[in-house]
Amino acid sequence: MEIKFNKSKALNSLLYVANRLQRKDFHKIFKILYFSDRQHLKDWGQPITGDNYIAMDAGPVPSRIYDMLKIVRGDSYCTDSEGLGKYFTIEDWMYVRPLQDADPAKLSKNEKDSLDESIRKYGSLSYDEIKEKSHDIAWRSTAKDFTIQWDNIAREAGLNSEEISYLTEINQLKNDLN
């Protein structure tokens, strides 16, 4: 299943989550985004951010969102040429301090509902609790530091092979049209 990254959705999802969590560390935000993308894929046939999740020791990490955070933090090979620093800063190496909220026009009601549900279900969990929950079959079936396949995330979300094939076809048609 080929999924396209949506930078606007990713940035606004990051801001949406960071503005609603008490503990705004990278780990917690990454897991909330993972669970939201997984649920939205199940419910609506596509994830919110479209980011590639990497199977890292502490669980799935959204690759491009992590890159955005490192750019603002100052430890990326890239400079902040797009002005990400006007949206958030990084404190104490791993805490996101949002400087504004998500643009309400950039996230649909369904996307906000998925983000809210993940925040409600997982937002108050400790580091170890959310880490354990994110170490699902999709994560466990992926070699360390490799990309978790969207087909595996879809299976983890509860979709069957027929539903995954259908979504693969739909996403391929969308990609062909763009």
Whether the Cβ atoms of residue 63 and residue 54 lie closer than 8 Å to each other: yes
Kindly list the domain boundaries of the chain, sorted by start residue. Answer: 7-177
- Per-residue model confidence (pLDDT) at position 96: 98
Say which DSSP state 95 is in.
E
- Per-residue model confidence (pLDDT) at position 136: 96
CA-wise closest residue to 39 among 136, 111, 120, 129: 111
pLDDT in tens, 53-63: 999 999 999 99
- Give the Cβ contact number of residue 137 at 10 Å: 11
Predicted model pTM: 0.95
Tokens 């979709």 -> residue: 159
pLDDT in tens, 69-123: 999 999 999 999 999 999 999 999 999 999 999 999 999 999 999 999 999 999 9
pLDDT in tens, 24-49: 999 999 999 999 999 999 999 999 99
Mean of pLDDT values over 159-176: 87
Whether the Cβ atoms of residue 80 and residue 68 lie closer than 8 Å to each other: no
- Per-residue model confidence (pLDDT) at position 153: 96
- Give the Cβ contact number of residue 63 at 10 Å: 15
**pLDDT above 80 for 178:** no
